[in-house]
Amino acid sequence: MMLHRMIYLSIKEMSTVANDVIIVTSSLTRDMTEKEDSHRGPAIRALCKITDASMMQSVNEVQEAVNNDNIMVQYHALGLLYQIRRTDKHAIRKLIVKFSKAGFRSPYAFFFLIRIAANLINEEGEGRDSPMYDFIDSCLRHKNEMVIYEAASTIVSLKCVTPKELSSVVNVLQLFISSSKPVLRYAAVQTLNKVAIQYPAAVTASITTLLKMGNEAGVDRLMKQISSFLSEISDQFKTVVIDAIKSLCQKFPRKHTVLMTFLSNMLREEGGYEYKKAIVNIIISIVEENPEAKEADCEHTSLATRVLHLLGREGPRTTTPAKYIRYIYNPAVSVLAKFGAAAEDLLPSILVLLQQTTLDQDDEVPLNSAYILNSMNVSLSSLERLLHRYTIGATTKPFDVRSVPVEAVPVEQPKDISIGVGLQRPGIESKTNREDTYDEQLSAIPEFAHLGPIFKSSLPVDLTESEVEYVVRCIKHIFSHYIVFQFDINNTLNDQLLERVTVQMDGSAEGFAVFHCTPCQVIKCNDTGTTYTLVKLPDDSSVVTGTLACTMKYTVKDCDPTTGVPNDKEGYADEFVLEDIEITVSDHVQKVLKPNWSASWEEIGAENELEDTYTLLIPTLEKCVKKIINYMRMQACERSDKIPEGKASHALYLAGVYHGGHDVLIRAKMALGGTTV
């Protein structure tokens, strides 16, 4: 209390020497509104002492000018009034509250008041709950377009505003964009650009919503609009937009041309790994899901690898696969191998390229090329299984890779292209899986567990007519020193049940010895069972062919056709004579592809060569080639199974591997001689 009185006394005494008393005036004016009487009285007396009568008249005139009808007078009066009170924030707040309720005729006065309110919000750190923000927000609903835009622009520039609070501003600017006035459209676009730069997440969400909800007709226009925006946002938000484009690809597959062009352009621009990875993933999904879109560049190694893998899988299916070669040559050796395996007319050129890559400076390239050109041609699943058995076994012998079954090459090329390393023909997966299944079934039988891996399994051979009561088919499983004959027996009768079914074989005259028969205990009515017979190959390695007589022996029980229950417990023994089984040279040879057949021929050497001359009663070279291939069951190499039109002579090159891992090559030189070859 005493301190306040001393301050008022000092003000009175110093009033005669002071030139600028506006700050003191503001302080005394504030004290005049205090609740304490001891403050109000001294403040009024001190104010009267220091106040100049001419100044009081000017302040009064300024306040009256604020209510003038002239818009420019109002604007300048408000500015002058603000200059008088700018050091007193409380007075400024009262000024804003007062005139926000009373309003102005002048839009310029509103501009100035909006900017004063924005300064207070930024300085005080106030949020949208403050009266200052409420005033600015209310100006968005003003009848004057300039005031509305000023309020919208001010809200965008506020420090405390969040994307959620921008919804009303965006709605106003959206209306301005559709206005007929160019100035409004330009101002709205400029402000929205600020919003996009400051709040990319909000704009990204809007774009992704448009992408998900847009129609097919607007895809072209939408892609053009967002392409310019993507260059201004970070990779994080780019990835969000790219993910939304993926749903657009699935929704409108016919727009793949526009979308692929857009994604390709984005892939060429600057960007990080995750961003470009997202683009590559979408391009791959489009190609996989849309057969019409098979066109797909990138500087990241792992992404480039995925693209090259895609080219290797889808490129050979296109109408002109040769055009992809120049993009892949040298670094993508495995992809080149896939082209050579799938597109037979390109194989000679691919082999030349692969030979050249063996001289590449990068160590990986020649190693990969050598691996492909000199493939082991073994079944990888069988190799894995045998290596596992070898590691858990107690043997001290080194592992012999020749004991691993080779991976066969099919006669016909399937439509589906799915190959691994090497130049094996595609489509071998089903055959390999079939032989792996046989191997698992036979290894589960104790009598066959010591035989080792299956070298080759033949196709099923019918030993009966299809109309007889027992339909029997035989599959030959070739091992190193044994053959297991698998007999699949179908009991077509509905009133007989078969028990203890075996197939007795006789090949003693040929040198084949029957070691064991594994019976099928029960074959019910209209059911199929399997029995096995183990036969040892002759000790003389030159004897590889023969004919074995077969007789099926079993016990028959008559049964009720309705229930299938046997009528008697004992039954009676019976037998059924089957057709003889032939063992041919082709049973011991597995097809393999030799990419460089001539080099393999020279490697075997002349000391292992056997030559003879035959006359075949076949009228054409084409039929002769087919019959030789079908008889020997070996793989034609270097396109020698294709005979140029009009030729009277031809050379056929075949390749295979004999059980034990021994290479077998055939060179058949043929010449037409009338009706024979």
In this predicted model, which residue has the larger pLDDT, 57 or 130?
Answer: 130
Answer with the residue of higher pLDDT: 473 or 238.
Answer: 473
Does residue 416 sit in helix, strand or coil? coil
What's the confidence (pLDDT) of residue 447? Answer: 87
Cα-Cα-Cα-Cα dihedral of 339, 345, 349, 351, to 10°?
Answer: 60
| CATH match for 594-671 among 2.60.120.200, 3.30.310.10, 3.30.499.10, 3.40.50.280 | 3.30.310.10
pTM of the full predicted structure? 0.47
Amino acid at 413: Q
Q: What's the distance, Cα to Cα, between the start and end of the chain in Å?
A: 134
Whole-angstrom distance, CA of residue 127 vs CA of residue 161: 7
For residues 80-92, average pLDDT: 70
CA dihedral 452, 457, 460, 464 (to 10 degrees): -50
What percent of the chain is modeled with pLDDT above 90? 11
The answer, yes or no, to whether residue 598 has pLDDT greater than 60, is: yes
Q: Is the sign of the CA dihedral 373, 379, 381, 386 positive or negative?
A: negative
What is the rounded (10 degree) CA torsion for 29, 33, 38, 41?
Answer: 50
Q: What is the mean pLDDT of residues 159-175?
A: 76
**657 - beta bridge partners?**
590, 663
What is the DSSP annotation of 597-618? HHHHHHHH-GGG----------
Tell me which of 1-10, 270-279, 561-570, 650-659 is least confident: 1-10
Q: Work out the pLDDT band at 181, boundaries 50, 70, 90.
A: confident
Q: How far is CA 76 from the centre of its chain?
A: 66
- In sequence order, the β-bridge partners of residue 653 are 667
Contact 417, 317 (CB under 8 A): yes
Question: Which residue carries 């082991």 as its tokens?
Answer: 376
What is the β-pairing status of strands 470-478 and 496-506?
Answer: unpaired
Average pLDDT value for the chain: 75
CA angle 191, 194, 196 (to 5 degrees): 115
Segments of the chain assigned to CATH 3.30.310.10: 594-671
Element (H, E) at 197: helix 182-198
Of the pLDDT bands very low, low, confident and very high (cuts 50, 70, 90), residue 644 is confident
Q: Contacts from 571-574 at CB under 8 Å and sequence distance 24+?
A: 571/497, 571/499
Q: What does DSSP assign to residue 675?
A: T
The answer on pLDDT for 411 being more than 50 is: no
pLDDT surpassing 60 at residue 432: no
| Cα 285 from Cα 277, distance rounded (Å) | 12
pLDDT tens, position by position, 444-480: 888 888 887 788 888 899 999 988 989 999 999 988 8
- Select from 2.40.30.10, 3.40.50.2000, 2.60.40.1480, 1.10.630.10 the CATH code of 456-588: 2.60.40.1480
pLDDT band at 360 (very low <50, low <70, confident <90, very high): low
pLDDT tops 50 at residue 414? no
Give span(s): CATH 2.60.40.1480, the chain: 456-588
Tens digit of pLDDT for each residue in 508-541? 878 888 989 999 999 988 889 999 999 998 888 7
Residue 286 has pLDDT above 50, yes or no: yes
Q: What is the mean pLDDT of residues 330-353?
A: 73
Question: How would you classify the pairing of strands 513-518 and 496-506?
Answer: unpaired
Give the residue with greater pLDDT, 656 vs 332.
Answer: 656
pLDDT for the residue 398:
82
Q: What is the pLDDT of residue 438?
A: 84
- Evaluate the CA torsion angle 195, 196, 197, 200 in order and state its sign: positive
Antiparallel, parallel or unpaired: β 470-478 and 456-457:
antiparallel
CA–CA separation, 424 and 337 (whole Å): 9
pLDDT band for 428, please (50, 70, 90 cuts): very low
What backbone torsions phi and psi does residue 276 show, to the nearest 5 degrees? -70, -30
Burial (CB count <10 Å: 0-12, 13-18, 19+), residue 199:
middle
